[in-house]
Amino acid sequence: MASSDYSKELHIALLAVQRASILTKSVFHSHAKGTLDKADASPVTIGDFGAQALIISALQHNFPDDEIVAEEEAKDLREKSKVKQTVWDLVQKAKLDDASGEKELGGAIESADSMLDIIDKGDSKGGSKGRIWAIDPIDGTKGFLRALMVDGDVKVGVLGCPNLPVDDSEALTENIGADASDAEGKGVLFSAVLGKGAASRSLGSGALAKESKIAMKAVTNISDATFCESVEAGHSSQGDAANIAKKLGITKPSVRMDSQAKYGSIARGAGDLYLRLPVKKDYVEKIWDHAAGDLIVREAGGQVTDVEGKRLDFTVGRTLQNNKGVIAAPKDVHGRVIEVVREVLGSK
């Protein structure tokens, strides 16, 4: 059953991300990093399939009428029995240490075939009506994000970043959070409910840890800002970002990290700006990459828009087709960043 204040949705989302992280850690340890090439040529790790199955299973158990937008389809697994078995073995072993939490998520998936059917339930077309979850287990060990949208408005957002430091005050450095590890003090869950602020807590394997409220730090001098951008040049124009930083007087090198980690990092004040700039005219962002981070940054006191200063529009299907790029920054400097972004992109 849904809750009027979204407290149950948040609780289930947090627990489900913790359970999915148990699976991806076991992938990391077993080196069972088999990949299947999708049509868009990006590899899908078996961890992605397993995590998607676990997360959708938890949502279906608790909110059976909700729709789900997810990236993966089980078609390739149906055709490759060896990979299917590997994913199923991982899914069976992924359980929370906390029995009551495991029960809340609906317990184990019944069979390998039902696992495939569950993966395929992420086929919602999205849109502006009803309750729709956007979920994305990213690249096996890198992290998870999930958001609940109601009539196109993001109400709940959760980011799981297994490789980021738990300490909200730890400064951003190049390659922070890049590599999977079991190091002490690593693994953080970021979350937000619309109108209720943003929080972080350590990512565990049982009951949820205590949360700490987070907020973006004030930037009085934009030249002192730290900006984050995508690791892969194919996801964001790094040359444009360097020109924007130069015009803003920023001298610190950019910190390149995965998208959900960037949103969480600036929301807690470890970084300041997140620039995701269009690499080509026809590129459109996927809603599952941005819905949770958009809410968490806004609830932490920041502003998130596209490069033209428009709010991200989650009402038009599985993509942000009404937007170009993403700019996230503290409210007091966001306008100035947009000015410079327009100047740099407009001069091309």
Separation CA 21–CA 41 (nearest Å): 25
Residues forming a β-bridge with 156: 148, 193
141 is catalytic: yes
138 labelled ligand-binding: yes
**Tokens read off for 24:** 């991806």
Say if CB 18 and CB 160 are below 8 A apart: yes
Q: How far is CA 112 from CA 77, 88, 119, in A?
A: 10, 6, 11
136 is in an annotated binding site: yes
Query: Considering 24, 45, 48, 306, which one is annotated as catalytic?
Result: 48
What CA–CA distances, in Å, run from 175 to 21, 185, 275? 20, 16, 17
User: Is 289 part of any known ligand binding site?
Assistant: yes
Residue 139, annotated as binding a ligand = yes
Does 294 appear as a known binding residue?
no
d(CA 194, CA 60): 22
- Beta-bridge mates of residue 190: 159, 200
Q: Which of 24, 45, 86, 141 is catalytic?
A: 141
Compute, in degrees rounded to 10, the torsion defined by CA atoms 12, 14, 17, 22. Answer: -100
Tell me, yes or no, if 97 is annotated catalytic: no
Query: How many residues does the structure list for the chain?
Result: 348
Token duo for residue 178: 């890049």
For the annotated catalytic residues, the residue numbers are: 48, 141
Binding residues for Mg(2+): 71, 136, 138-139, 289
Binding residues: 71, 136, 138-139, 289
